[in-house]
Amino acid sequence: MAEQTTATPLNSRHRDLKALMAPFGGWDMPIQYEGIIAEHAWCRQKAALFDICHMGEFIFQGDFEAGGLEDVFTFSVKTIPVGRSRYGFLLNEQGGIIDDLIVFRLSEDKVMVVVNAATAANDYAVISQRLKGGAFTNITDQTGKLDIQGPLAREVMVSAFGEQVAAIPYFKFITMDILGVEAIVSRTGYTGELGYEIFIPADKVCQLWDLLLKDERVKPAGLGARDVLRLEVGYSLYGSDIDEVTTPLEAGLGAFVNFDKNFVGKEALLRQKQEGVAKQKIAFRVSSRRSPRHHYEILSDGRPVGSVTSGVFSPMLGCGIGIGFAAAGEYPLGMPLTICHERVSMEAVVCELPFYDNGSLRS
């Protein structure tokens, strides 16, 4: 039975480009155009354009503390300076991750929350339930989002929209006029490269796509390349690496949890801090070009210790890389592991994240 999917405004553009399409998070999305490896390379060397209209956007307007927003996420909203954004989590009472997300401080009393596609409807319901006041609106359908990522992204953006884009530092954004409408241009992304996420009204997103692709330094890239790019720099993918039965502490993402404030799930995390975690995230590098894949088993000394949650062949490293979860214990750098699935077996060693650290992200 075919999965019911929603089309982004760019669907016919992708089909014209002969993209391979597949369902992702309830949306009909481009997986690749010319090929995952070529698109990955273009993003690392030039500038790649991604249709990210599937992601969810919500607006909260009101008093952050009286409205209850301050206690919703693992980070403080009220201390985000206007014009900056912050990454963190929406947790359940057990400390499990309902979603990972970014909050953009638009003004003194207004934020935009950007969430994953597959989780957006549930996130909106959960957050609404936790709020005590203020106005909370789901603007996903009216909002288009394009990511332009790569070392040439700044030059491309400056050519298209002027010098004001050049000065935006990492995790800061500006509101500016693009194609006669108000758009948000944010120095954030999911690739480890210098880049921008652009939020624009959905009815202008096709025009913006066409405009950016006119620049010969820019090529479209699909979700296939995006997955390789994000794993090379060690970013978690919601639904694969993190989920409702995984806490930020288990996922090695405790840096995005502020224990000096209240949030749902705090008691569970404090308990976990005291008693220790049952599982932990590990990263490993394979000794061949073979790719670890989701659900492959991780063995240490012939003993199963966990399973792979994300794995790819890394073009930058020339070998397979992966992350997974293992029973809590000692996994020192260089420790040998075996990754197994049916007839497939590959040798690997524990390594550090990120796998690839030479991107243009902060340049």
Partner 1 sequence: MAEMYFTKEHEWIKVTGATGKVGISEHAAHELGDITFVELPKVGKTVKQFDVLAAIESVKAASDIFAPLSGKVLAVNEDLDTTPETVNESAEEKAWMVELEISDSAELKNLMTQDQYNEFLKTL
- Choices 33-41, 54-62, 152-160, 261-269; region in contact with partner 1 by CB under 8 A: 33-41
Q: How far is the CB of 335 from partner 1 (least distance, A)?
A: 23
In this structure, what are the phi and psi dihedrals at residue 284, rounded to the nearest 5 degrees?
-150, 160
β pairing state of 6-7 and 27-32: parallel
User: Is 344 a binder of partner 1 (CB under 8 A)?
Assistant: yes
Q: How far is the CB of 273 from partner 1 (least distance, A)?
A: 38
Quick one: which segment of 29-37, 94-102, 276-284, 300-308 binds partner 1 (CB under 8 A)?
Answer: 29-37
In the complex with partner 1, the residue whose CB is nearer, 39 or 99, is 39
Part in contact with partner 1 (CB under 8 A); list of ranges 119-127, 189-197, 246-254, 284-292: 284-292
35 binds partner 1, rule: CB under 8 A: yes
Q: Does 32 help bind partner 1 (rule: CB under 8 A)?
A: yes
Contacting residue, 146, 228, 233, 308, with partner 1 by CB under 8 A: 228
Beta strands in 164-252 (DSSP E): 173-178, 181-186, 195-201, 218-220
Q: Which residues contact 275 (CB under 8 A, 6 or more apart)?
A: none
Residues 22/2, Cβ–Cβ less than 8 Å:
no
In this structure, are residues 130 and 72 in contact, taking their beta carbons and an 8 Å threshold?
yes
Is 34 or 244 the residue whose CB approaches partner 1 more closely?
A: 34
Per CB under 8 A, the segment of 74-82, 149-157, 290-298, 352-360 that binds partner 1 is: 290-298
Query: Does 135 engage in binding with partner 1 (CB under 8 A)?
Result: no
**Residues belonging to the chain:** 363
Binds partner 1 (CB under 8 A): choice among 138, 191, 246, 291: 291
At closest approach, how far in Å is the CB of 18 from partner 1?
12
326 binds partner 1 (CB under 8 A): no
Q: How far lies 226's CA from each of 30, 107, 191, 265, in Å?
A: 11, 31, 7, 30
R_g over Cα of the chain: 20
354 preceded by a cis bond (ω within 30 of 0): yes
290 binds partner 1 (CB under 8 A): yes
Residue among 88, 150, 224, 248 that touches partner 1 (CB under 8 A): 224
Tokens of 117: 């596609």
Both tokens assigned to 102: 């970014």
Cβ neighbours of residue 162 closer than 8 Å, sequence gap 6 or more: none
Taking the C-alpha atoms of residue 275 and residue 248, their distance in angstroms, rounded to an integer, is 15
For residues 153-212, which are near partner 1 according to CB under 8 A?
none
Q: Judged by CB under 8 A, which stretch of 28-36, 121-129, 198-206, 245-253 contacts partner 1? A: 28-36
Choosing from 12, 142, 288, 358, the residue that interacts with partner 1 (CB under 8 A) is 288
Give me the least distance between CB of 190 and partner 1, in Å please.
17
Using rule CB under 8 A, residue 132 touches partner 1: no
Q: Which two tokens stand for residue 341?
A: 């699935």
Cα torsion 66, 75, 115, 214 to 10°: value is 110
Task: Decide if residue 41 touches partner 1 (CB under 8 A).
Answer: no
Query: In terms of CB distance, is 179 or 344 closer to partner 1?
Result: 344
294 lines the binding site for partner 1 (CB under 8 A)? no
**Coil vs helix vs strand at 63:** coil
Question: Of all helices (H) and strands (E), which one includes residue 225?
Answer: helix 223-232
Q: Is residue 14 within a helix (H) or strand (E), and if so which, with residue range?
A: helix 11-16
Which residues are bridge partners to 323 per DSSP?
283, 310
* Cβ-based nearer residue to partner 1, 68 or 320: 320
Contact residues toward partner 1 (CB under 8 A) are 20, 32, 35-38, 224, 228, 288-291, 293, 312-313, 320, 343-344
